[in-house]
Structures are given as C-alpha cells and as structure tokens.
Amino acid sequence: MGTILAMQTSKTRHQFYLPDALSAKLDALAEKPGTSKTAILSEALSAWLERGALSDLDERFGPRLDRQSRVSERIEQKLDMLTEVVGVFVQYQLTLVAHQPPFSPETQKLGRERYQALLDRAGQQAARRRNAPPQDLTKETI
C-alpha cells in the first residue's frame, strides 16, 4: 500500500469572488510572463495593509505634529510682530534725529561704547535664557 504525503506549504488557500470587470483586469495582468494572479493579489493586499499601518502612525503622531505646527505658527506670528515693532521704532528714531547736527567725535565714541554695552547685555541675556529651564511654548502670550 502506498502512502499519500501531503505537501506542506507556507501559504493558505483562500476562495473569494471578484466582479467580472476586476477579474478581467486581473487576468490581463497575469498574462505577462513571470506574473501570477497569486503574486498580484498578494502584493496588492500587502500594499493595502501597509497603508492601514501608515494611518495608524497618523493617528499616533498626528496630534503631536498638529500641536507642534500650532506652536510654530504662534512663534512665527510673534516674530513677525516683533519685526514690525522694531521697524516702526527704527523709523521713528531716524525721523527724530534727521535734522540734528552731526555728532562730535566724543559723542560718536560714547555712542559706540553704549552700543557695545547694549550688545554685551543682549548676549548675556541670551546666554542666560539658553541655560534656563525650558518654557511651555504651548500657551498663548500675545
């Protein structure tokens, strides 16, 4: 008596129905050399399932990215506001000093010293802020 050995495979058989139009498209794709209906359907199903994994990533990281975008937009708005304020201030200052006589050499030297002191102070403030604990940027302050 002979024994019948079952062939083991790492694939599971599935049976399902396709609409006629879709079945015709699958047949046309499978006619190309080196392709099969199984390979086409396996790749298509894998791609579809991977897209589902991508939407899972969107669900997990989407709210965080949205929050970061809102924070970034607020920072950009504040920076735009500060730029406008500085521009208006400079225009105002230039208007005030437009008709003044030229400065004497001593006054120019004093102005350079005061400007350097301003830059030094700003550098110290910036260094202090870099070493300070981080602030909560999610709160609106303007």
- For the cut 60, the answer to whether the pLDDT of residue 3 exceeds it is no
Instruction: Render the burial of 94-119: b for 16+ CB within 10 Å, e for the rest.
Output: eeeeeeeeeeeeeeeeeeeeeeeeee
Q: Contact 18/26 with Cβ under 8 angstroms?
A: yes
**Could you tell me the pTM of the whole model?**
0.42
- For the cut 80, the answer to whether the pLDDT of residue 2 exceeds it is no
In this predicted structure, what is the pLDDT of residue 138? Answer: 53
Kindly report, residue by residue over 41-88, the tens digit of the pLDDT: 989 888 877 777 667 777 888 889 999 999 999 999 999 999 999 999
Q: Which ranges in 1-142 belong to alpha helices (H)?
A: 20-30, 37-96, 105-131
In this predicted structure, what is the pLDDT of residue 10? Answer: 81
Name the band, by pLDDT with cuts 50, 70 and 90, for residue 140. low
Domain boundaries along the sequence of the chain: 22-99, 101-131
